[in-house]
Amino acid sequence: MYKLICKDGNAKRGEFATVHGVIQTPVFMNVGTVGAIKGAVSTMDLKEIGTQVELSNTYHLHVRPGDEVVKKLGGLHKFMVWDRPILTDSGGFQVFSLAGLRKIKEEGVYFNSHVDGRKIFMGPEESMRIQSNLASTIAMAFDECAPHPCTREYMENSVARTTRWLARCKGEMARLNSLEDTQNRQQMLFGINQGGTFEDLRIEHAKRISEFDLDGYAIGGLAVGESHEEMYHIIEKTVPHLPGDKPVYLMGVGTPANILEAVDRGVDFFDCVYPARNGRHGHAYTNHGKMNLMNAKYELDSEPIEPGCHCPACRHYSRAYIRHLLKAKEMLGLRLLVTHNLYFYNKMMEEIRQAIEKGEYAQYKKRKLAGFMEGGEA
């Protein structure tokens, strides 16, 4: 259940009640694709840095260790030792990202596993069953993330199929949630809006999926090659046609600047691999842009990554030490940077919520973006 607390322009401050706790929105979900954050960050660490929601991937967990294995072990929460909400992505994005290994048909998608090459079939019902076995808090509907660019004809057919798949997802989830041996019978379902950069297709699809009366709605198929301006335009035009009393999730986006712009356009939920991926490559997010700690200028720098930051890395370690760890290829270096970056994102979301509550979001956004520009990042 979504409760809108207040608005500042189009920016929304809300709460989303789930069986695994109340999510304060806007929120950034920390991405643990295979049930773990890449960079040796544990669920205990996630609690320490203020993570509200963890995101895992249906396709990857189905391939390894297997969703049936996770079910036998009590579901993903018990398996990972995490008692807060988990959102599972449907596997639809893999239809896009594993383009060379798949074949799309009306019944679903035929894959070759990226691990061992074995044939896998996943359709709407299979995706729902896998996510039910994982017992996540929020399940995502199975969709196709069409390539960018593509023809209007391809996009129209893809969007229509995604809608038909959504109807099948909703029916299968209702069936699964009625079964006695289902571990989370209060699992929620979010539908996904598609349509690429075709504004009219996006709007029409948003109206159509709103009729399904789901727990929440996502905007998918962005940040796949279009410009930031195109992405912001599509968000701006699409969000007003999604239900105002349900959360809106922008999938796979993005940079801190992307998040600030999308919040301003009414988005509630975010996820992205950037903080973990960039951390593993020696980059740290700060209020003054991104830092590359591999640079020689940090060799004798005894300052924390960002003075005033209260993450575990900044409370204890210097830039020089973390740079040394990275150069020595020590796992601890990656762990400290990933932890810092996730803390930075989580803290920024907390600041965003406070700014909206105070009616000061426009000023906050302007200040934050100006800071990022100092380091050449926006």
Active site positions, annotated: 89, 271
Query: Tokens 């980059």 label which residue?
Result: 283
Task: Tell me, rounded to whole angstroms, the distance of Cα 97 from its chain centroid.
Answer: 15
CB 213 within 8 Å of CB 167: no
Give the whole-angstrom CA distance, residue 180 versus residue 341: 41
Query: Tokens 């699809």 label which residue?
Result: 205
The order of strands in the sheet holding 108-112 is 102-105, 108-112, 119-122
Pairing of strands 119-122, 108-112: antiparallel
Secondary structure (DSSP) of 90-123: -SHHHHHHTGGGEEEETTEEEEE-TTT--EEEE-
Give the whole-angstrom CA distance, residue 156 versus residue 178: 34
Give the whole-angstrom CA distance, residue 66 versus residue 62: 4
Our separate counts of H helices and E strands in the chain read 15, 16
Bridge partners (DSSP) listed for residue 287: 289
Q: How many CB atoms lie within 10 A of CB 369?
A: 15
> At residue 227, what is the residue type?
S
